[in-house]
Structure 1
Amino acid sequence: MLLLDTADLPPEHRVDAFRAAFGQASVPCRIEHLGPAAAVHTRMHLWEFGGATLFTTDSSGFRLVRTPRHVRMESPPVVALAVQSSGTGRFGQFGAERLVPTGDLMVSDLRAPYEFSWPGRGGSRAFQVSGEQLGLPPDVVRAAAPRLRASPLHDLVRDHLVALSRDADRLAGDPGAAALGTATTELVRALLVSAAAPDRRVPAVRAETLATRVLAYVSAHVTEPSLTPERIAAAHNVSVRQLYKVMAVRGVSLEQLVIDRRLELARAELLTAAGRRRSIAATARACGFADPSHFTRRFRAAYGRTPREWQRMAP
């Protein structure tokens, strides 16, 4: 969902609009713009994934300052994991300061004061989750913050957030959006535990979160006909046999999972304005089914109606 595009506003209103939109998407803080007010420009988006949110910003330079007074204000305790998508950020919290280059992750414990800025142009993709949902004590988050890059899960989680941001409109509207938010939260938790105790927990964390990472991967790539068990196993550096074993422990059939996700997507798509105009075969292909006849048989078995009958039920 687009929160703000200052290109649509007169220059004299952009600063106030920026502050209002940021306040809607995140927690209270002071915002300072690093340049003349007339040069302020930004695009902000916010999507909901169950109890978590994805907040993206692309803008001219600014500085955020969250003071002890802001922390004392009534606001939900939130932890944000962000990938710097462009530019170089500067982040300071708990007495430490570091640069955040393009492609790096940064964790902000919004339950405590912090400062963050970038000069010139920059961009950020932030997954925000409540402290209660994350389920980690503040000392673990604090210990992990300066060591994210040391975790072998860093690139995996970063790439997941980038993929989530790239296709956020479609994914946030999918029936599995809340489950995807839960899976992403588990990935964030795994990264923080891994980074906080890198020598002791990495192998265990990778094993414990394999099923979660697989579920997130399937959600991100479900419309691709090439999504096979072999591809999923290769993406997670495990054998197909190990992949099946791990999913079986969770009571999940991998093939049925992919089919179910595709069917859920197709069922929602058929009721949209675009879906009502599109042929059944085109919808099948768009949702990852290579064979329209197979799609129709699966759809009827799952929902008791053919895709055409379901499509005609649209208001």
Structure 2
Amino acid sequence: MSETDSRIQRFHTGMVPRKDGFAFWADEIGPLVGRLDSPERTDFQQELTIVDTAGLAFMRVHGSGATIERKGPSQLMGAEVYPYHLLLKLDGGLAISEQRRRIELGTGDMVLIDSWQPLRLSSTEATDSWSLGLPEALVNRWLPHADQSTDLLLAAGKGWAGMLSGYLRALDVDHLCSIQSPAERQLLGEHLMSMLSFALEQNGLVAQPGALGERVSPRDGDLHARMRAWIRDHHADTEVDAQKLAACFNVSVRYVHKVFAKAGRGMTFLETLQGDRLEAAAQMLRSAAGARKFVAQVAYDCGFADPAYFGLVFRKKYGCTPRSFALRQGPGQAEADSAVLVC
């Protein structure tokens, strides 16, 4: 159920009899969070408040102990909008399993979670936690290597992690909901992200840019594969560029280059696009019909807007001009090809 303020959403089991609380919660929230269970099924109570502030999604949940098992990307905090979220245990203990690692969180401890990964949360005691959905723009700005910082414990009593934990534990939902000034909301987000960045660096969890052996997250690997398929289907469009690809996949241009840098096995976006275009040109020139085309037409058909540039990069890759390449493909068509192909 929603408040008048569109930034705020509240859900609670108080609207049904206590004996029906778990069934209600499983129907209302279960489809968003995954398979739900609880040791308190016959007396289940929970309350969930979500507040959107400066692009961050603040989610406060408290009530009966529960186990959540998610097989795919997060639906409650949509992975497309919030690729990562920070989980803080406010009271009691919590076990979390992600990417084959099990972590035990005590009071005030935190962990950064990849919203695209399967997840299992188990709280046999009372549930009481904050979860912050981190939007892509802030992640790219503050946490460029967030994928290497997930499923790792940020202990409450250590340096910047302790300061961030204390900051979040002092937050009050009502006060958070009352913040109306856009400047104050923005400042809150900057404070939180900067402290999280410092905490990760202080704990040695963030790799340096360009470091060898960076782990590619399954999310980035899947996105790279889908982008590669898209490029193969659209390389003939002379207007294809990183901006067009970013718009198609609803990500930033910076993130496009980041995905190719990490998952492209050394091939940048531009190198990948040009490689597909050159392979298409070579395949075209190997055919009788393609070999009879003017080189300029081959260039245009394969996505090159500048025939002179096409000739330059083709020669660099194949060691000869497009015309010479076509003439080598079959002696029977050499005279015809020589008559119509131009450099």
Check conservation: 1:67, 1:113, Cα contact below 8 A: yes
Flag structure 2 segments of 5+ consecutive residues without an equivalent: 1-7, 209-343
Indicate yes or no: 2:8 matched with 1:33: no
Q: Secondary structure at the match of 1:126?
A: strand
Equivalences, count: 197
Which residue, out of 128, 135, 145, partners 2:133?
128
CA distance in 2, matches of 1:74, 1:171: 27
Partner of 1:116: 121
TM-score under structure 1 length normalisation? 0.53
Q: How big is the shift at 1:194?
A: 3.1
Q: How big is the shift at 1:85?
A: 1.0
Check conservation: 2:160, 2:196, Cα contact below 8 A: no
Partner of 1:95: 100
Indicate yes or no: 2:18 matched with 1:14: no
TM-score under structure 2 length normalisation? 0.49
Check conservation: 2:108, 2:166, Cα contact below 8 A: no
Partner of 2:164: 157
Q: Secondary structure at the match of 1:86?
A: coil
Q: How big is the shift at 1:83?
A: 1.8
Q: Secondary structure at the match of 1:133?
A: helix
Flag structure 1 segments of 5+ consecutive residues without an equivalent: 201-315
What code does the residue aligned with 1:148 have? L
Give the structure, 1 or 2, with the largest relative contact order (CA under 8 Å, sep 6 or more): 1
Once the two structures are superposed, residues 140-194 of structure 1 have per-residue CA deviations (whole angstroms, 9 ceiling, x without a partner) of 4434642523852111110111122365345533442233223322322332333
Partner of 1:238: none
Larger Rg: 2
> Which has a greater percent of helix?
1
Check conservation: 2:90, 2:108, Cα contact below 8 A: yes
Change (3 A) 1:193 1:132: farther
Change (3 A) 1:21 1:148: same
Which residue, out of 177, 195, 198, partners 1:190?
198
What code does the residue aligned with 2:111 have? M
Check conservation: 2:82, 2:133, Cα contact below 8 A: no
Once the two structures are superposed, residues 67-103 of structure 1 have per-residue CA deviations (whole angstroms, 9 ceiling, x without a partner) of 14768x9743431112211121001112110211112
CA distance in 2, matches of 1:133, 1:151: 24
Partner of 1:146: 152
Q: How big is the shift at 1:139?
A: 5.3
Check conservation: 1:4, 1:45, Cα contact below 8 A: yes
Change (3 A) 1:86 1:137: closer
Indicate yes or no: 2:87 matched with 1:82: yes
